[in-house]
Amino acid sequence: MLYRISRFFIFLLPPEFSHHFVLKILKIVNFFHLIKPKEIPSEKPILLNGLLFKNRIGLAAGFDKNAEHINIFQNLGFGFLELGTVTPKPQPGNPKPRIYRDVNKLAIINSFGFNNVGVKKFIDNIKASNKSVIIGVNIGKNAITPYEKSTDDYLKCLRQLYVHGDYIAVNISSPNTQNLRNLHNIKDLENLIKKIVNERIKLHKKFKVFKPIFIKLSPDLNLKEIKPIINLLVRHKIDGVILTNTTIDKSLISKAYRNIPGGISGLPLNKKSEEMLINVKKVSRNKLTIISVGGIMTPQDAKRRIQLGADLIQLYTGLIYQGPLLVDAIRREL
């Protein structure tokens, strides 16, 4: 109820401004120790890919792009946080306005384009936090890097972030960086994955620590496209997939928003994301860890994803529409 009232006022503000405004307020509240993690007695930690997750609920990438709010989100009850997307160099992202709310559909349309402080400052921010949960670092390419050189950017991020994240999320599915989704093409994907896996072998030897690698996929793939991608990931011993990023299917939102560029998240993505989970589960034959994300708006949605075979889930748009108490409500439901 309290969040519903606050949301009324928050939604009067422009979406990008309100995002930063709410995070500033939460930062102050957290500074005075007013956000305290709740104990849920029934909750048991989960061991996956050598990582011990406090619970199955994660913050999706894009909410804390610069790793500036780790302390807040871990106190809100998340079992893991995926930070980023971060790119080798800082970049401003696409011109504003670049985020809209389609309130009637419980959706968000965003075209941010990886606005972030760059990998160096990102690492400083992680170091300055009191990290106590699993941290995933979500990596991408700079907009000015030509598509043919994409792999170089991912490798730069991987090398610098290897010791700072508990897992690495390779984002090939944002619709807001030109041609990025072409990395789903089998030939380009195989080239990228081979290089990432080879680099991981070197980093593993150098630092004597193994970090799982998850690939974040688009929801706009059909079963015919999914099969070779998943077979390739399994063949190259990738540890898991994050299903899914935003969709570009504009038919899912209100007419007034259909000409706005960007990817759609929230309730309209629910079915697509769930279908991806079902299909990938079938094709991967339990060889990949699955993080399910997209349109999880209620504890029942979260429970269904776990029942369908997801190992972990993540939230973004659900938090905007339902508020931060959604995290504890899901923790109690699972």
Ligand X SMILES: Cc1cc2nc3c(=O)[nH]c(=O)nc-3n(C[C@H](O)[C@H](O)[C@H](O)COP(=O)(O)O)c2cc1C
Per the DSSP assignment, residues forming a β-bridge with 48 are 51
- Choice between 62 and 88, CB closer to ligand X: 62
Considering the complex, what minimum distance in angstroms separates the CB of residue 193 from ligand X? Answer: 17
- Choice between 162 and 294, CB closer to ligand X: 294
* CB 166 within 8 Å of CB 211: yes
Residue 240 burial class via C-beta count within 10 angstroms: exposed 0-12, middle 13-18, buried 19 and up: buried
Judged by DSSP in three states, 153 sits in: helix
φ/ψ (deg, to 5) at 161: -95, -10
Q: Look at the block and give the residue holding tokens 């079902």.
A: 278
Integer Cα distance of 2 and 120 in angstroms: 38
Site for ligand X in 185-244 (CB under 6 A): 216
One residue of 213, 296, 310, 330 binding ligand X per CB under 6 A = 296
- Choice between 53 and 63, CB closer to ligand X: 63
Question: Smallest Cα–Cα separation from 243: which of 304, 171, 178, 179?
Answer: 171
Report if residue 294 touches ligand X, rule: CB under 6 A: yes
Residue 23 burial class via C-beta count within 10 angstroms: exposed 0-12, middle 13-18, buried 19 and up: middle
- Choice between 114 and 257, CB closer to ligand X: 114
Report if residue 99 touches ligand X, rule: CB under 6 A: yes
Site for ligand X in 300-319 (CB under 6 A): 315-318
Considering the complex, what minimum distance in angstroms separates the CB of residue 208 from ligand X? Answer: 29
Site for ligand X in 35-64 (CB under 6 A): 60-62
One residue of 53, 78, 100, 112 binding ligand X per CB under 6 A = 112
Report if residue 322 touches ligand X, rule: CB under 6 A: no
Integer Cα distance of 115 and 108 in angstroms: 17
Considering the complex, what minimum distance in angstroms separates the CB of residue 41 from ligand X? Answer: 27
Using the contact rule CB under 6 A, the part of the chain among 33-41, 109-117, 158-166, 225-233 near ligand X is 109-117
One residue of 74, 245, 279, 284 binding ligand X per CB under 6 A = 245
Integer Cα distance of 65 and 117 in angstroms: 8
* Catalytic choice (173, 174, 218, 265): 174
- Choice between 202 and 292, CB closer to ligand X: 292
Helices (H), the chain: 2-10, 15-31, 70-75, 119-127, 150-161, 186-207, 223-235, 270-284, 299-307, 317-322, 325-333
Question: Smallest Cα–Cα separation from 314: which of 263, 288, 277?
Answer: 277
Considering the complex, what minimum distance in angstroms separates the CB of residue 21 from ligand X? Answer: 15
CB neighbours of residue 178 within 10 Å: 10
Considering the complex, what minimum distance in angstroms separates the CB of residue 20 from ligand X? Answer: 12
One residue of 35, 139, 158, 269 binding ligand X per CB under 6 A = 269
Question: Smallest Cα–Cα separation from 311: which of 79, 41, 74, 62?
Answer: 79
**Is residue 254 flagged as an active site residue?**
no
Report if residue 142 touches ligand X, rule: CB under 6 A: no
Applying CB under 6 A, the residues found at the interface with ligand X are: 60-62, 65, 85, 99, 108, 110, 112, 114, 138, 171, 174, 216, 245-246, 265-266, 269, 293-296, 315-318
Catalytic residues: 174
